[in-house]
Amino acid sequence: MAIHTVILITLVTLGLACAVYSEWLIKLRFSPTKFTIALRRAPRKDIAIFVVLLLIVFVQQLMRAESPLTGSLLLGLVLLSVWFGWIRQPVALIKAEGIVIKGRFIRWPQISHYQLTKEGVLILQLPREQVIVNATKLEDLERLYRHIIAQPA
């Protein structure tokens, strides 16, 4: 087995694990979810460039008649990229103890400062970094803002 096949197996396995975690397992962690907020996706043209490059590598692999395992792994990587970029809707899960955003759990007391902008962005200031919440609907962001304000200090 070639090194590129091992790398592809690792990438596809990690991608599938991340997909299962972000879609099903993260909802089971911590306390029950109070409500969810749909977040904005990454720019689609960036993902489209990545998918096209993967498809070029896949076609080259087919033309060279290499291992069918490598071809199927490349195709799996293309499908995972399409799922992460276009199909999956990123969400922030609002829990009783905190917020889960981008796979990270932030407890309410960790948020030292927060700011809601007119552009539909909520900036959460943590001790060492900022977390930016880009919601698709301004109403959801205002609901989250009111929920954060209602939390005890």
153 residues of the chain, pLDDT tens digit each: 789 899 999 999 999 999 998 888 888 887 788 899 999 887 888 889 999 999 999 899 888 877 889 889 999 999 999 998 888 889 999 988 899 998 889 998 998 888 888 777 889 999 999 999 998 888 888 888 888 888 776
Helix pair 3-20, 68-82: axis angle to 10 deg: 30
Helices (H), the chain: 3-20, 26-28, 44-63, 68-82, 138-149
How far apart are alpha carbons 69 and 138 in whole angstroms?
46
How much is the pLDDT for 153? Answer: 62
Sheet holding 98-101, edge to edge: 33-38, 91-95, 98-101, 104-107
| DSSP reduced 3-state for 153 | coil
How much is the pLDDT for 93? Answer: 92
How much is the pLDDT for 28? Answer: 82
Cα 29 → chain centroid = 16
